[in-house]
Amino acid sequence: MAAIRVAVAGAAGRMGREVVRAVSGASDMRLVAAVDTKEAGDAGTVAGIAPNGVMISTDLASTLKNVDVDVLVDFTVARAALENVTTAIANNVKFVVGTSGMGSEAVGELLRKAETGKVGGAVVPNFALGAVLMMRFARAAARYFPDCEIIELHHDGKVDFPSGTAKATAHEIASGRGDTVGKGDAGRGVVEMGVPIHSVRLPGLVAHQEVLFGGPGQLLTIRHDSMGRDSFMPGVLLAVRKVMHLDHVVLGLDALLE
């Protein structure tokens, strides 16, 4: 079976470098292209591994026209991700988006374009398998503990808030307790689907979230911690493999685990 040909957008960023290392170490994948806002040299060297001969480009459209790519992995910024994925769809390239901060309108537009082009892809707010399980458990708990709040904690370089994972968790909670409005207090934190979300941004953190459920005389806490960006890589590689068999877009890693 031929190796999956992968391009990475945002290859010089923190997550992009991690993806380059992960793809380079996967026996069933091959890094064939890398793109960033600046030419930073050999993608392997930038990622801290051996040079691989893939030079980082600043022009995704030109890259996808000149290089045979199966899947584009995008870890850029919200304003660039939609344009990058639109370019991928125009070139019949499947995609995996891990970029945070994309609004519902941008995601909706992406879904429409992918459906028109019949191009498979995945938009994933969190690639950590433990985070997916956290959301599943939160949905189950919400049936019995309707009163809850979310605290999400990330590194100080993360500018969007609440995080995509926190929003996705709130939607799972609302689904689990059978409402779409909820009773969250808008005076404390940001309220998503009736669930208050509190965001913390501090140096020393990576990606952490806890969901607190309160009931008479008891407190249930479900927490997930990513201590390093390598925790996201098994999920990224899983998504790359799964989208190869899709002709539509899925939202969240959970949809790829079935």
H/E stretch holding 22: helix 14-25
Token couple for 244: 């190869």
- Cα gap 86→197, rounded to integer Å: 31
Is 38 one of the annotated active-site residues of the chain?
A: no
Q: Supply the angle between the helices 164-177 and 129-142 in degrees, to the nearest 10.
A: 30
CA gap 53, 48 in Å, rounded: 14
The active-site residue out of 94, 154, 171, 242 is 154
**Which of 98, 95, 90, 93 has its CA nearest to residue 116?**
90
Q: How far apart are CA 6 and CA 31, in angstroms?
A: 5
113 classed as catalytic: no
Catalytic residue among 38, 65, 118, 158: 158
Active site residues: 154, 158
